[in-house]
Amino acid sequence: MKICVGIISYLPDGESIRFQRFKKLINLLSRIDKVFKLPILIIAQNWKDCEIPVLQNSLLIIYSYDEGLGITGARRALRDKFINSEFDYLIMLDDDSELIGDERDGMEYLSQIYSHPNMYGVFKSMLLKLFAISKEMYKKIDFPKGEAANGDFFEDMYLIMALEKLYPSKKFTFKRNGINEYSNSANDSLSTWYHKQFVKRKIGDNTREMIRKLKHVN
């Protein structure tokens, strides 16, 4: 089984926020290199003039886009690149994630993927952070149109809830052991899209309504 890590990344133009988000990204890549030692697929949006340090263990596979694709658009691009790759399983992280743990913790996390081929694993209930999905499962589902930045729906919440509704028998839940992910999804001052212009509860309600309308697969 071939496993990779997938990251969607957008670097805004503002010099200060761009620097801070890029610093977080570099730290994340270094941590993945040490903890997982896996190839990393990156949907790199607006990365002009960025130099990524060479990693010791992880191969970087970067797909560059001059403009932002939107969060859902970037997720969809990552899905497409993964499905058309040599890899069998995708671990998702965001570019502002902080990966906590050591190499032993990483091995214990990966062992759970090896024990659940052709399935999907949930690490945090509604977030695609250390969420893992097999190619077989990702071929069965895609993201609908819409963007969180427009107040439409949460794409991470949608994917997890849709999978749980349509394919509950294919789910496993990770035992965290020593590994974890930290990021401020609720109120991040460095967010590239959320600046309290929407009521997040309403976006969550929109997402749950979309899930309610999904029909079970025969």
* pLDDT per position as a tens digit, 187-215: 554 454 444 445 667 888 889 999 998 87
Task: Count other Cβ atoms within 10 Å, centred on residue 67.
Answer: 9
DSSP-based three-state secondary structure for 182: strand
Count the residues in the chain.
Answer: 218
Which of 66, 9, 79 shows the shortest CA–CA distance to 42?
Answer: 9
| Domains defined for the chain, CATH in brackets | 3-144+170-182 (3.90.550.10)
Instruction: For the full predicted model, state whether its pTM sits above 0.95.
Output: no
CB neighbour burial string for 11-32, b if at least 16 within 10 angstroms, e if fewer = bbeeeeebeebbebbeebbebb
Task: Count other Cβ atoms within 10 Å, centred on residue 77.
Answer: 18
Give the span between the Cα atoms of 119 and 70, in whole angstroms. 27
* pLDDT per position as a tens digit, 88-117: 999 999 999 999 999 999 999 999 999 999
| Strand ranges (E), 53-157 | 60-65, 89-94, 98-100, 120-122, 131-134
* pLDDT per position as a tens digit, 36-86: 999 999 999 998 887 888 899 999 999 999 988 999 999 999 999 999 999
